[in-house]
Amino acid sequence: VLNIGPTASHNLNIDNDWISFSARFGGVAHDIWIPVGHVVSLFARESGEGMGFEVKTLGLCLGPTH
């Protein structure tokens, strides 16, 4: 979960392929780029309203299974 509101991020840009913004983590500024296809939901904190998107499974193995 990322808060990309105006007080948490700067230079927010959303287009058809990418969501990008600048934010500080631990006092260090970072430019963040997120592919739109990796976003699973959006919601407004003020109203609690939002929408979810279809999640596509990539079939990746993230580590050994025991």
pLDDT at 33: 92
Q: CA-CA distances (angstroms) from residue 6 to 3, 13, 60, 61?
A: 9, 12, 34, 36
Tens of pLDDT along 24-54? Answer: 888 899 999 989 888 888 888 888 898 888 8
Considering just the CA atoms, what is the radius of gyration of the chain in Å? Answer: 15
Q: What is the pTM of this model?
A: 0.65
> How far is residue 53 from each of residues 17, 36, 45, 56, 57, measured CA to CA in Å?
15, 10, 18, 9, 13
Residue type, 49: E
